[in-house]
Chain A
Amino acid sequence: GAVVSQHPSRVICKSGTSVKIECRSLDFQATTMFWYRQFPKQSLMLMATSNEGSKATYEQGVEKDKFLINHASLTLSTLTVTSAHPEDSSFYICSARGQAGYGYTFGSGTRLTVV
Chain B
Amino acid sequence: GESVGLHLPTLSVQEGDNSIINCAYSNSASDYFIWYKQESGKGPQFIIDIRSNMDKRQGKRVTVLLNKTVKHLSLQIAATQPGDSAVYFCAEKSGAQKLVFGQGTRLTINP
Contact = CB atoms under 8 A, between A and B. Distances in A.
Interface of A: 6, 32, 34, 36, 39, 41-46, 49, 60-62, 91, 93, 95, 97, 102, 104-109, 111
Given A39-B3, A102-B49, 8 more contacts: A32-B97, A34-B97, A41-B8, A46-B99, A104-B46, A105-B46, A106-B36, A106-B45
Contacts, number: 60
B98 to A, nearest CB: 6
Contacts of B97: 32, 34, 49, 97
A64 B32 CA distance: 28
B99 A104 contact: yes
A41 B43 contact: no
Interface stretch (B11-19, B62-70, B101-109): B101-109
Contact of B3 (A34, A36, A42, A60): A42
Interface in B8-59: 8, 32, 34, 36, 41-46, 49, 51
Contacts of A39: 2-3
A108 B38 CA distance: 10
Contact of B43 (A61, A97, A102, A109): A109
Nearest to B31: A102
B76 to A, nearest CB: 21
Interface residues of B, number: 28
B32 A102 contact: yes
Nearest to B106: A41
Given A34-B99, A49-B97, A44 B89 contact: yes
A45 B7 contact: no
Contacts of A109: 41-43
A108 B32 contact: no
A93 B43 contact: yes
Give 3 nearest A-B pairs by CB, closest first. Answer: A61-B1, A106-B43, A44-B101
